[in-house]
Homo-oligomer: A and B are copies of this chain.
Amino acid sequence: MSDLSTLVQGIQAGNMRALARACRLIDERDPCAFELLKRIFTHEERAYVIGVTGTPGAGKSTLVDGLILLYLGQGKRVAVLAVDPTSPYSGGAILGDRIRMQQHFTDEGVFIRSIATRGHLGGLSRSTGDVLHVLHASTFDIVILETVGVGQDELEVTQLADTTLVVMAPGQGDDIQAIKAGILEVADVFAVNKSDRVGADATVQDLQQMLALRRMPTGVGKMQGHTAVSTLRAAPEAEVGEWLPPILKTVAHRQEGLADLVDAFSKHREFLTTTEAGKAIQAQRQVAEFRAILYQALIDAVDARFAEQLSEKLRDIVDGRADPYSSAELLVRSAMGESEP
């Protein structure tokens, strides 16, 4: 326990080693991690989390590097969580390069950590959420949550961000077509990067059209699948729909347009914290997060406390003596202290 207290102090002081150790505990699903998270959870002084996602080849990494530079120049403490959808088996080469490129930032006090998908249902966003709480309890002003690629998993991760930036480049029409549904729902700000190239204005127009066509208000899409309890429902559509994602042109490698981006982030932050619609979105996110934490804790508890029954039932199923649905029902009843029927 005194060891845990040291770790908590280290995190609160912004000690890089303590932060890395906490991330490792979470990553390895160490039982201490839950205890740690209970101890460090804070409602106050949270870092602002900016999710960055976008199509491959849009220059996302360069843009993130530019944002880090800009925030460092403002005297801000910055952390970067890079979410890598590649499997541990393939070595995560894409992100490896990325991390090596950013090595110089670590000298300036930027905390960089990669989180690899484990193929575990919901596991990725849950452990990312846990790591975010460690960073909230530490000394950071800004956390950049960067995803490689823009699949459904990545979109889910951006639900953990306060503000989500979607980065595209000119001439990626097909890519946009393929993923637009998800993107429209998660984007709070759009960047058309490499906007010195041909077709930038057309991409901006495409995005504008898509935004005009979309039927659902901002924020609501992000929460789909998580049923908020009735007392915490979002405000009605008209109010929830107040935020209109701006579309900004950038040339990241020349730092062009990045100050405007940061400005848009601030405006979105203001929207979240000062308007009823924004507060409703934040409350919904808290609800969704609590559910995710609760469900994971439930699963962990059943796995730990009913290990024997679980493997007994598994044997019956594999041997064809029982069906998984009835077995699940019996195990749930037994776990909840109800007698089997």
Complex contact A90–B184 (CB within 8 A): yes
- Determine the distance from Cα of A153 to Cα of B117 in the docked complex, in whole angstroms: 12
Complex contact B87–A181 (CB within 8 A): yes
Complex contact A297–B332 (CB within 8 A): yes
Contact partners of A119 in chain B: CB under 8 A:
152, 156, 221, 224-225
A56/B181 contact (C-beta < 8 A), A121-B292, A314-B229 known: no
Q: Determine whether A123 belongs to the interface, using a CB cutoff of 8 Å to chain B.
A: yes
Q: Which residue of B lies closest to A222 (CB)?
A: B119
- Contacting B at CB under 8 A, from A210-243, are 214-216, 221, 224-226, 229-232
Complex contact B149–A294 (CB within 8 A): no
Complex contact B121–A174 (CB within 8 A): no
A118/B325 contact (C-beta < 8 A), A87-B185, A231-B315 known: no
A294/B331 contact (C-beta < 8 A), A41-B323, A87-B182, A325-B38 known: yes
Complex contact B329–A180 (CB within 8 A): no
- Determine the distance from Cα of A123 to Cα of B57 in the docked complex, in whole angstroms: 30
- Contacting B at CB under 8 A, from A273-332, are 283, 286-287, 289-290, 292-299, 301-302, 305, 307, 310-311, 313-315, 317-318, 320, 323-329, 331-332
Give the size category of A's interface with B: 35 or more
- Determine the distance from Cα of A313 to Cα of B293 in the docked complex, in whole angstroms: 13
Complex contact B118–A225 (CB within 8 A): yes
Main secondary structure of the interface of A (DSSP, over half): helix
Complex contact B329–A152 (CB within 8 A): no
Complex contact B174–A89 (CB within 8 A): no
A332/B294 contact (C-beta < 8 A), A121-B125, A181-B87 known: yes
Binding site for B on A (CB under 8 A): 34, 37-38, 41, 43, 56-57, 85-90, 92, 117-123, 125, 149, 151-153, 156, 174, 178, 180-182, 184-185, 214-216, 221, 224-226, 229-232, 283, 286-287, 289-290, 292-299, 301-302, 305, 307, 310-311, 313-315, 317-318, 320, 323-329, 331-332, 335-337
Between-chain CB contacts (< 8 Å), 30 pairs: A34-B325, A41-B325, A41-B326, A57-B174, A85-B182, A89-B215, A89-B216, A92-B181, A119-B224, A119-B225, A120-B224, A120-B226, A121-B121, A123-B225, A151-B151, A152-B153, A153-B153, A230-B311, A231-B311, A231-B314, A231-B315, A232-B311, A286-B317, A286-B324, A290-B327, A293-B324, A295-B295, A295-B299, A297-B328, A336-B337
